[in-house]
Amino acid sequence: MSEKATITIDLAKITENARRVIDALGGREVIGVTKVTCGSPEVARAMLLGGVSGLADSRLENLAGLRAAGITAPLWLLRAPVPALAEKTVSLADVSLESEIETVVALDAAAGRLGRSHSVVAMVDLGDLREGMMPGELPAFVKRVEALPNIVLHGIGVSLTCYGAIVPTAENLGELIQLTQTAEALTGRHLNVSGGMSSSLDALVEGTLPKRMDGLRIGESIILGVSTVTREPILGLHTDAIIAEAPVIEVMRKPSKPRGISAQDAFGGRPVFEDCGERLRAICAVGRQDAPPEGLRPLDAGVEVLGASSDHLVLDVDAMSTPPRVGDTLRFVPDYSATLRLFTSQYVDQRFI
């Protein structure tokens, strides 16, 4: 039994997932992404134990937390900073993903003041419409970066699937390689091809991941064990490294359809209910402020998630062989969205095993 909502993180499974991903990629560089866990040092260490080459996060606060925890591995900043944060970026991150030359110029000046160099990956947009310059802008960007004394162009990268849901394919990844070769002709040296994130593992499974792909930035597949294209298990990875638990605060038999005049719910929606007669229902002490209900898959047989308000998770438990009692705990496997919010919520405890 637990007194409040808790997430349990099995670090050994995360380590094993990292190792399996690295083995499957055949020696390519894997940067472990910690952002869904809000930069958890425990998860970061588990990834490093599994063999990732470095760690990446989208927020400087999380990188600062990793450094404060004594982690010395190379750190990548995934979300480009505003120029005003250039000095903090250079002091915390070894590599950052960049598409605006104004920001890179600020990073160069900050690196000069700090007496160090800073590496950047030039991001190009190949259809997903999140960050990245258009391909035709890359040559001019590369020339400007190469002229900066304290900036090292580490490679060329792409972001796919996260915003526009565009799947990595032989075509768009092949375009990334061609763009990298164009940049290499301008720099006269080898550049890293950073071929996207967890979604590129599907191209690996399908046999369409180009051999020239030097590395990937992998978070969700290592932590949750699924493809980010299909949300199905991939590469034989553990899909239960993170389990959410919430205590039951009410168990009662109630009608399945609300009674009265219907309006909007607390979040502006207009829910539709099927009349299934009276059903045994339970409420758990967790809500939309902590996790979207549609992102919680029950582990206990006979439990169905009906919905949630900000702080109540409403469940149908009529099919459970042994109905829960007040104070019992029900368990769920969270998807990416739920995991992100559970780690972010100050109302959810974390337990590492």
Per-residue confidence (pLDDT) for residue 268, from 0 to 100: 80
Do 212 and 274 belong to one domain? no
Contact between 239 and 333 (Cβ < 8 Å): yes
The CA-based angle 182-179-219, given to 5 degrees, is: 140
User: Is residue 139 in a domain?
Assistant: yes
Do 197 and 260 belong to one domain? no
The pLDDT tens digits for 158-206 are: 999 999 999 999 999 999 999 999 999 999 999 999 988 999 999 999 9
Do 85 and 205 belong to one domain? yes
User: Is residue 1 in a domain?
Assistant: no
- Half-sphere exposure of residue 78: CA atoms within 13 angstroms, side-chain side: 27
Confidence of residue 337 (pLDDT cuts 50, 70, 90): very high
Confidence of residue 248 (pLDDT cuts 50, 70, 90): very high
217-206-14-313 Cα dihedral, nearest 10 degrees: 100
Quote the CA–CA distance of 138 and 51 in Å, as a whole number.
32
Q: Which amino acid is at 210?
A: P
Task: Tokens for 318, please give them.
Answer: 């009529």
Do 219 and 268 belong to one domain? no
Q: Give 296-344 as a DSSP string.
A: EEE-STT-EEEEE-SS-EEEE-TT-SS---TT-EEEEEE-HHHHHHHHH
**In the chain, what are the helix, strand and coil shares in percent, each to the nearest 5?**
30, 25, 45
Per-residue confidence (pLDDT) for residue 1, from 0 to 100: 63
Q: Tell me, what DSSP letter sits at residue 167?
A: P
Identify whether 211 is a catalytic site residue: no
Q: Which domain holds residue 128?
A: 10-224
Domain ends where: 224, 255, 276?
224
Quote the CA–CA distance of 318 and 255 in Å, as a whole number.
12
User: Is residue 4 in a domain?
Assistant: no
Q: What is the Cα Rg of the chain in Å?
A: 23
What is the distance of C-alpha 59 from the center of its chain?
12
Query: What mean pLDDT do residues 113-117 have?
Result: 98
The pTM for the full model equals 0.94
Per-residue confidence (pLDDT) for residue 12, from 0 to 100: 98
The pLDDT tens digits for 131-146 are: 999 999 999 999 999 9
Q: What CA–CA distances, in Å, run from 335 to 21, 223, 295, 312, 346?
A: 19, 10, 5, 19, 19
Per-residue confidence (pLDDT) for residue 259, from 0 to 100: 86
Do 218 and 246 belong to one domain? no
CATH number at residue 286: 2.40.37.10
User: Is residue 213 in a domain?
Assistant: yes
Nearest Cα residue to 15 out of 35, 42, 54, 37: 42
Average pLDDT, the chain: 96
Residue 76: left if φ>0, alpha if ψ -120 to 50, beta else—which one? beta
The pLDDT tens digits for 203-230 are: 999 999 999 999 999 999 999 999 999 9
CB proximity list for 346: less than 8 A, separation 6 or greater: none
The CA-based angle 27-32-37, given to 5 degrees, is: 160
Contact between 31 and 52 (Cβ < 8 Å): yes
The pLDDT tens digits for 93-107 are: 999 999 999 999 999
140-145-149-151 Cα dihedral, nearest 10 degrees: -170
Per-residue confidence (pLDDT) for residue 199, from 0 to 100: 94
Confidence of residue 110 (pLDDT cuts 50, 70, 90): very high
Contact between 75 and 51 (Cβ < 8 Å): no
Per-residue confidence (pLDDT) for residue 291, from 0 to 100: 98
Do 180 and 268 belong to one domain? no
Confidence of residue 14 (pLDDT cuts 50, 70, 90): very high
Do 172 and 272 belong to one domain? no
Do 95 and 134 belong to one domain? yes
User: Is residue 280 in a domain?
Assistant: yes
Do 72 and 181 belong to one domain? yes
Per-residue confidence (pLDDT) for residue 39, from 0 to 100: 98
Per-residue confidence (pLDDT) for residue 265, from 0 to 100: 73
Q: Report residue 175: phi and psi, to 5°.
A: -65, -40
Confidence of residue 284 (pLDDT cuts 50, 70, 90): very high
The pLDDT tens digits for 23-81 are: 999 989 999 999 999 999 999 999 999 999 999 999 999 999 999 999 999 999 999 99
Q: How many domains does the chain have?
A: 2
Q: Which of 4, 35, 211, 257 is catalytic?
A: 35
Q: Tell me, what DSSP letter sits at residue 118?
A: E
pLDDT of residue 3 exceeding 90: no
